[in-house]
Structure formats: structure tokens, C-alpha cells
Amino acid sequence: MSTDSKFGDYGGQYVPEALMPAIEELGDAYERYVLENEDGFMDEFRERMADFGGRPTPLQYAEQLSARYDTDVYLKREDLVHGGAHKLNNALGQVLLAKYMGKERIIAETGAGQHGTATAMAASHLDMPCEIYMGTTDINRQRPNVFRMRLNDAQVNPVTTGRGTLKEAISETMRDWATNVEDTHYVIGSVVGPHPFPNMVRDFQAVISEEAREQIREKAGRLPDAVVSCAGGGSNTMGAFANFVQDEGVDLYAVEAGGSSLDVDEEEGVAPNSATLTTGTDGVLHGARTKILQDSDGQIVESHSISAGLDYAGVGPELSHLVEEDRVTPVNVGDDVALEAFHRLSQTEGIIPALESSHALGYLHEAHDELGDVVVVNVSGRGDKDLETVLEETDKRDLDVAPDMDLFEGVER
């Protein structure tokens, strides 16, 4: 695994000076504890991920989808990790690392609330005080997750600037870190930010592909032809890809949120999508040089997706690099296709997927002919958190695949 601060032209450490010593200290801790297993750090991490987190997760053969697409479809069931998503892999790793480093306080940003809830769980589990920054827009559309964080004794700090979503929450958490850097660790939620975060978060998430690679060889007797994973910031993506990158015969598809359109509205400063790898351009955001959604002046534009967890104007620098190198293929599906895929998996396989993961399943539906005979799809999380959104968005559309919604007619919701 690479410890360089750059992935080709991408990555680096573009942060305020006050944070540089903390980032160097973190880089040192990452090398010693994560890469070299000093003091048995990685052993403890794996043990806790088993007992507290429920790992390993299964790689499940999806019978109905396989028959429908005439392709062997295997689902990596990250929705079964404690908390309902892959996010705990990273959150528990970082909170434990903060403890080994002697830090006394945990802060984190959250968009949809998945990383916030995972961090709150991990901090509670490891007895660390924890504060989560969350945009006011997100707080209002993700109330159950806010309540879960409060239940786990985390403080939730509302962020009122901008549109009140993930990028404002990241900026505000960076400000807190710049103020309290001496005793505080910032648990960043994806493979983004300054070095060493993109490397470190990838390594904590790489357990997904480490398990999946072993499991597919057992079940299918071979490596897959393709691995399909959704990509917002890209932590489940890099986790699902990391151990397959060296396998040249395995195609890697990063499925981004196409939103409602791939165009950028310069006038309004809005991109009605989060397809950063597909449509973004090189720039510097939140500590790293990577692909970002920006206007021609370099102002960051507001992104959009039906899935709050993919709704981000940047992407991990390593993914930008792997796309540049043609090792990862960026593709995208829009809100409608993702929503249909959500219903399809729920109906045919008995699994309610997160709207994020539904993008990967939507791409499987659209492109199954081109993906080969054996395909692994990463189900990065479960969809319970999205039920309100799905109810609303399904109601707006005429979807053949959705259950009959007449049941709800005239009912206040």
C-alpha cells in the first residue's frame, strides 16, 4: 500500500498552516499503527470490527438478479455491518487510532448522517467525547440519524452557512480542528482531505475487497469480471476496489450520481448531479488536489443527488488518479434509475439498499450485458434511513417497479 502523499498529480496537503503539524503527527501514527501494526493496533482493530462491528460480512449470490440478467451477481453485504453501512470500518479505525495517539476529543462532519452515526457509535464504544458537525438542511432531512447520534451521546453542531450540506459541514469541522488541534482528532468520513486521510481511510475500508476477493474465489472459483460500487467521496468505492486494483482482468466501475442532469448551471452555481469523476475538472478542495465540481472561476458549485451520501462536489484523489490511468471506469446513473433499482432489490431479493448503493445496482441493471459473467456489486449500506425520501420521490414519479402507493392516499405523511 502506498504511503505517498500524492497519487500522480492528485492528493497533497492543502490545509491551513495551523493543521500541518497535526497532519504530520497523524501521518506518523498511520505508518506506525496501521501499516506496521505497532502495539498490535491492527489486531485490536480487527477484533473490535468482528465483535462490535459484525465482520466479516457475507458475499451473497443474488439468485433473482442473476437469473434476470443472465450473469452471476454477487452482493457484498456491507449493509450488514453494525450501524447499517460500511462507514463503521473507517470510523472505528480512526477513533481507535485517536486513542492510541492520546487524543481526548473526536470531531467529525456528516452529510446524510451515516458517517456521523458511525463515528458516534465508535466514540461511544471506545469512551471518547464526540461532536458532529452537520448542515441544517441535512439535519432536517435526516432526523432519525440525528437522533441516533444523540442517543449515542454525541453532540450535534448545526452548520448554517451556505446551503447547509456536506461541504459546509466539512469546512466547519476543519475550522474546529484548526482551533483545537492539540487534543482533538478529526475523523474524516471518506477518502478525501489532505494526506494521510485518503490512504488511511482506504486502508480501513480495504477490508471490504480483502474479504470479497477471498469469498468470490471460494464461491465462484475465480475472480470476478467486474466490481461495481457507488462513488460519492469514494470510501466504499476504494474499499471495494483496493484489493482488486492489481488484478488486471477485473474491471472496476465507480458509479456516480447523475442526479437530474449532467449539466452545470454557471449562473446559479449549481450542478444538478454529483458526477465529479465524469464531469469534474482538476482543482483543490478540502485539502487535496482532485477532480471537483466548479465554475469557470474556480468557485465550488452546489451538487445534487437523490442520495444525500453521494451529494458532494469533490471525490477522493486516488479515484481521480485511477480514472486518469484508465484503471477505474467512471459511469453514472440518475435519480430515476437509482430509485427503480432501490425498489427492484427490495422486491426481488428481500434487501432494502441505501439510495447510495442503489446507484451501483442501477448501473448493473443498465449495463449487465457488458459486465461479464461474474459481477460483484457492493451494497454499501441498508436503506432504512432513506424510507422517507423514497416515499416522497416515488410518489412524484410513475415507476412501474414501485409498489402500489395508493395505500397512502389521503394519509397525512
Q: How far apart are CA 293 and CA 266, in angstroms?
A: 11
Cis peptide upstream of residue 196 (ω within 30 degrees of 0): yes
Contact segment (CB under 8 A) with other proteins among 133-141, 144-152, 178-186, 246-254 equals 178-186
Which residue from 286, 304, 343, 368 is in contact with other proteins, where contact means CB under 8 A? 286
Q: Among this protein's residues, is 87 annotated catalytic? A: yes
Beta-sheet pairing, 374-379 with 226-230: parallel
Q: How far apart are CA 198 and CA 239, in angstroms?
A: 11
Q: Which of 190, 320, 380, 385 is catalytic?
A: 380
Is 293 a binding residue for other proteins by CB under 8 A? The answer is: no
Q: To the nearest whole angstrom, how small is the minimum distance from the Cβ of residue 137 to other proteins?
A: 16
Is 234 a binding residue for other proteins by CB under 8 A? The answer is: no
Is 283 a binding residue for other proteins by CB under 8 A? The answer is: yes
User: Segment 22-41, which members bind other proteins (CB under 8 A)?
Assistant: 22
3-state helix, strand, coil in the chain (%, to 5): 45, 20, 35
Of 140 and 161, which CB lies nearer to other proteins in the complex structure?
161
Strands of the sheet containing 10-11, edge to edge, are 6-7, 10-11, 288-292, 281-285
Is 161 a binding residue for other proteins by CB under 8 A? The answer is: yes
- Between the CA atoms of 212, 217, 222 and 225, what dihedral angle is there, to the nearest 10 degrees? -10
Distant-in-sequence, close-in-space partners of 170: CB < 8 Å, separation ≥ 6: 109, 188, 192, 193, 286
Of 155 and 161, which CB lies nearer to other proteins in the complex structure?
161
Q: Among this protein's residues, is 274 annotated catalytic? A: no
**DSSP class of residue 33?**
I
Is 268 a binding residue for other proteins by CB under 8 A? The answer is: no
Set of cell numbers at residue 293: 465540481
Which residue from 240, 280, 216 is spatially nearest to 60, judged by alpha carbons?
216
Of 20 and 67, which CB lies nearer to other proteins in the complex structure?
20
Which residue from 35, 101, 126, 178 is in contact with other proteins, where contact means CB under 8 A? 178
Is 270 a binding residue for other proteins by CB under 8 A? The answer is: no
Q: Among this protein's residues, is 17 annotated catalytic? A: no
Is 54 a binding residue for other proteins by CB under 8 A? The answer is: no
Q: To the nearest whole angstrom, how small is the minimum distance from the Cβ of residue 300 to other proteins?
A: 5
DSSP three-state, residue 153: coil
Distant-in-sequence, close-in-space partners of 365: CB < 8 Å, separation ≥ 6: 69, 337, 340, 341, 344
Structural Rg of the chain based on CA atoms? 20
Contact segment (CB under 8 A) with other proteins among 62-70, 120-128, 282-290, 329-337 equals 282-290
Is 320 a binding residue for other proteins by CB under 8 A? The answer is: no
Contact segment (CB under 8 A) with other proteins among 33-41, 62-70, 112-120, 288-296 equals 288-296
Contact segment (CB under 8 A) with other proteins among 100-108, 125-133, 168-176, 345-353 equals 168-176
Active site residues: 87, 109, 380
Which residues contact other proteins by CB under 8 A? 12-18, 20-22, 161-162, 167, 171, 174-175, 178-182, 269, 283-287, 292, 294, 296-300
